[in-house]
């Protein structure tokens, strides 16, 4: 082999080796970078998951606290509704009893006069009306409607009795008994509806 051939072979051999070294080096560097990136990515994912889990737990805790608060509020609200229904029922019964006493055809010697009984009925009716009206927000719409109806009926019966019996120049026993008979059934439906609503609240069905 001539010196020229030897020189060319040496040059090309060196180039081939250098190329192989460079190719290997690039591959190693790429793999190394990929590994480092993957490692950093996993660390980042772990941190993000930790942050996410912490935030989720805080949210769950916050929702639990809010849920408990709402539960307490609603329980108190239903207790308050039950109290108001019971008081409304009591005032209704008292007013109905006073109306019965006012319109009763049976009068005993020494008993209160019709005027005093009328005034007692008027006071109880006013208290009943003021109470359920000012607490209507706690009552169902159907109950409020019933209360307004029975309120109007008791007012009408009281006015009729005053005009046709108490203030009448001529006594009409038949008309008197008819008015009294109306009183006995006047509040029956309303009282039953209040009782049903009260039992529903106590049973917890609408809580």
Range of weakest confidence among 1-10, 58-67, 100-109: 58-67
Cα–Cα distances in angstroms (integers) from residue 173 to residues 140, 155, 167, 177, 186, in the given order: 40, 21, 14, 6, 20
73-203 CATH choice from 3.90.350, 1.20.120, 1.25.40, 3.40.50 = 1.20.120
Cα–Cα distances in angstroms (integers) from residue 81 to residues 47, 75, 100, 136, 193, in the given order: 51, 10, 28, 10, 14
pLDDT band at 109 (very low <50, low <70, confident <90, very high): confident
Residues 149-174 have a mean pLDDT of: 92
Residues 145-170 have a mean pLDDT of: 94
Non-local (6+) Cβ contacts of 100 within 8 A are 180, 183, 184
Assigned token pair, 120: 């007692």
Assigned token pair, 73: 């509020």
Tell me which H or E stretch contains 140: none
Residue 195 has pLDDT above 90, yes or no: yes
Residue 69 has pLDDT above 50, yes or no: no
Task: Tell me how far apart the 2 most distant CA atoms of the chain are, in Å.
Answer: 160
Q: What is the average pLDDT score of the chain?
A: 79
pLDDT band at 13 (very low <50, low <70, confident <90, very high): low
Tens of pLDDT, residue by residue over 124-136, are 999 999 999 999 9
Do residues 82 and 201 touch, judged by C-beta distance below 8 A? yes
Do residues 183 and 150 touch, judged by C-beta distance below 8 A? no
pTM over 0.75: no
Residue 65 has pLDDT above 50, yes or no: no
Tens of pLDDT, residue by residue over 35-56, are 666 666 676 666 666 665 665 5
CA atoms within 13 A on the CB side of 57: 6
The larger pLDDT score, comparing residue 78 to residue 113, is at 113
Residue 32 has pLDDT above 70, yes or no: no
Residue 57 has pLDDT above 50, yes or no: yes
Range of weakest confidence among 59-68, 78-87, 145-154: 59-68
Q: Which residue blocks in 104-140 are alpha helix, DSSP H?
A: 114-134
């Amino acid at each position: 082999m001539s010196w020229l051939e030897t020189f060319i072979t040496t040059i090309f051999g060196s180039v081939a080796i250098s190329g192989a070294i460079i190719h290997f080096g690039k591959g190693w560097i790429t793999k190394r970078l990929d590994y480092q990136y993957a490692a950093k990515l996993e660390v980042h994912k772990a941190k993000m998951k930790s942050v996410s889990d912490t935030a989720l737990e805080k949210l769950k805790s916050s929702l639990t606290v809010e849920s408990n608060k709402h539960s307490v509020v609603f329980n108190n609200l239903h207790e308050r509704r039950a109290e108001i229904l019971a008081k409304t029922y009591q005032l209704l019964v008292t007013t109905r009893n006073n109306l019965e006493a006012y319109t009763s055809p049976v009068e005993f010697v020494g008993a209160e006069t019709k005027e005093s009984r009328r005034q007692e009925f008027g006071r109880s009716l006013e208290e009943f009306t003021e109470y359920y009206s000012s607490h209507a927000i706690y009552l169902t719409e159907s109950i409020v409607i019933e209360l307004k109806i029975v309120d109007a009926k008791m007012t009408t019966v009281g006015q009729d009795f005053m005009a046709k019996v108490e203030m009448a120049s001529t006594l009409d026993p038949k008309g008197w008994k008819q008015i009294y008979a109306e009183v006995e059934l006047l509040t029956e439906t309303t009282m039953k509806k209040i009782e049903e609503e009260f039992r529903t609240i106590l049973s917890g069905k609408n809580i």
